[in-house]
Structure formats: C-alpha cells, structure tokens
Amino acid sequence: MSSVFSIGFPSVPALALGGALLAASGAAGPSALAQSAPETLSAGQATECWRGWGYILDGQSRAYKSEEMLLVTLGPTLWEAGQAVELFVLDRASGHISELPPIRVVPQTPRLYYRGRLNYVDTVASIDGSGDFMTLGLSHIEPAPAGVPAKEDFNRWACGLGE
C-alpha cells in the first residue's frame, strides 16, 4: 500500500482512515500503543503538554500514508533520540483526545527550538512496533503560573482535556 493521500484538513472519515492506517502499519499492536486511556492530571497539577501535527510515512518509500493528524502529549516530555514518546490524536470536531489508541513513537534526531526556553520540536520518528515512520512538529504548552486560572483553562483546552 504505497499510495499517497492528499494533504489537508481531515474530516471524520479521514480520522477513521488514520486509525485504519495505524492498524495496517502495525502500529496498533501492543508494543506500539499504550493499553490504557489517557490519564487525567491530579488535582492541583498544572496542565502541560506538547501540541501539533503529524503524518504517517511509509517505512520504505517515506511516502505519506495519512492526512494530517492533530497530536498531543500529556505532561512534560523528554525529547531525546531513542526516548519513546506517547502521542494522542485529537478529534478535530471537539478538540478533545480522540478514541483512537495512542501512538508510541521513538524520535530519531529531534530538532529543538528555543526562544529563551524550549518551545518547539520537530522530528522524524519510528512508530514503535511498526516499520513505518511519523513526521511531526509540536509546540510546548507550558504550565500556567499559580493564580492564573484563564491560562490553566486555555492549557486544558489546548491539551485536549476539555474545560
């Protein structure tokens, strides 16, 4: 299956296609996916995540196998080559974490960008348990300072957790 899909904003069927591609690529196996739903943050813990985009790439040709997916991590994330990262797909209609299982990727050589602090990363990553890859770019949603509830509300929305 080496066809290339058009790149754009996926609809609900495109998200279903993304899930089917994850399954077809072997990413839906137990080693690639966490077996539990995303955990919510404990009371009083500031919301923090990385939010951005990603595409599944064919493992041999590097052709695009999916349309754009909106992705998010939960909590602080260590971006190092070889360090596994769990990504959750966001539902475009609701902005919440979708019911698709999370994707575990292993970044090859993450490029980190700073503006006084780490605020963006992009990389190509192998999909754990699959021969395919993912290209992705994510921005850091920093924890809200204490006493700034509007920023915490924004962070919960940006991280796909709702309000």
Least confident range from 19-28, 73-82, 123-132, 154-163: namely 19-28
Quote the domain boundaries for residue 56. 12-28+47-158
pLDDT for the residue 19: 52
- State the average pLDDT over residues 125-130: 96
Q: Is residue 37 part of a domain?
A: no
pLDDT for the residue 7: 33
Q: Is residue 6 part of a domain?
A: no
pLDDT at 117 over 90: no
Q: What is the largest CA-CA distance in the chain?
A: 52
- The CATH number of whichever domain residue 150 belongs to comes to 2.40.128
Number of folded domains in the chain? 1
Q: Is residue 35 part of a domain?
A: no
* Per-residue confidence band for 42, with pLDDT thresholds at 50, 70 and 90: low
* Per-residue confidence band for 37, with pLDDT thresholds at 50, 70 and 90: very low
Q: Is residue 21 part of a domain?
A: yes
Q: Is residue 62 part of a domain?
A: yes
* Per-residue confidence band for 15, with pLDDT thresholds at 50, 70 and 90: very low
pLDDT for the residue 3: 37
Q: Is residue 39 part of a domain?
A: no
pLDDT at 68 over 70: yes
Q: Is residue 34 part of a domain?
A: no
pLDDT for the residue 115: 82
Q: Is residue 154 part of a domain?
A: yes
